[in-house]
Structure 1
Amino acid sequence: MPTALSRSQAPAGPHGCFAGALGAQAAEGRIRRSCDVGVGGFIVVTLGYWLHCRYNYAKQRIQERITREGIKNKILYESTHLDPERKQTKSSSNST
């Protein structure tokens, strides 16, 4: 009699969900439950991957916006009295 896969042996990803569903069917003989396990596993994996991609995309957009603002400020304030780098070089040359 085949047994269900243990957690350490269960494959990951959509194929793992399918294998888990087949294992549940073989172990218990309940087709509906194995189908529910397969569909549920597919939904969980798909939703998890979608959330991961959404998070990375949002993080990348925030980093791009900060970089764009920094470049804009660098262009605007370069060689003016408001340039922070120019103030640092003046104060360091005055102290010596």
Structure 2
Amino acid sequence: MSEQNVMTDVNHVQHMFLHVESSDMECVINIAGHPYRLRELIFMMVENGCRVKKTSADAFNTFLFDKETVEVHDFLTSIIKAKFVG
């Protein structure tokens, strides 16, 4: 499917893992949603001073963290699952 078709398909879901760092936290998130919504989410994180890089499922599963895993389900971004480190 071409990128243009993917972006216009309102039912298309993209899935990715991101490693996110800011001055006071570090996390790996597992997100899924429409590509436009994911781009918007990443842009908001960068605008708020976070460093964001794409990572893998292995990095998510082996990420050492000392707080609970957080799950957020909202209408536009189907699933966000984050593992935080102090």
**Which TM-score tier does this pair reach, normalised by the shorter chain?**
under 0.3
- TM-score normalised to the size of structure 1? 0.25
Higher strand share: 2
**Superposition TM-score, scaled by structure 2 size:** 0.27
- Greater RCO, CA 8 A, separation 6+: 2
